[in-house]
């Protein structure tokens, strides 16, 4: 029996009163979440604080990562172009161009 079936059995085993109480507490939690809205200034301060914690790459690392990405994209583009070219020629030959 998987987790989903176990959860369904637990839900069905609850009494209607318990289900109503669970639904009411979920609604209360949603209402409280809506009330706690962060002002834009505080949001931007928190964003700035989090960005200070980020371990940013050095210029040398950034150049290395950029080169890796550009080489990878070039190789994959050439590979896809080559496969497309070969398969299109093969199909045209098979169909008796």
Q: Where are the domains of the chain?
A: 56-97
Per-residue pLDDT of the chain (97 residues; tens, 9 = 90+): 788 888 888 877 777 777 777 778 878 877 766 667 889 999 999 999 999 999 999 999 999 999 999 999 999 999 999 999 999 999 999 998 6
Q: Name the token pair of 64.
A: 């290395």
Are the beta carbons of 52 and 44 closer than 8 angstroms?
no
Q: Name the token pair of 66.
A: 């950029």
């Amino acid at each position: 029996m998987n987790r989903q079936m176990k959860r369904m059995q637990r839900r069905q085993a609850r009494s209607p009163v318990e289900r109503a109480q669970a639904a009411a507490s979920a609604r209360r939690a949603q209402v409280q979440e809506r009330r706690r809205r962060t002002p834009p200034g505080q949001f931007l301060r928190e964003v700035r604080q989090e960005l200070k914690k980020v371990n940013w790459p050095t210029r040398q690392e950034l150049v290395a990562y950029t080169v890796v990405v550009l080489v990878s994209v070039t190789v994959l583009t050439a590979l896809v172009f080559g496969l497309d070219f070969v398969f299109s020629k093969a199909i045209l030959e098979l169909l008796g161009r």
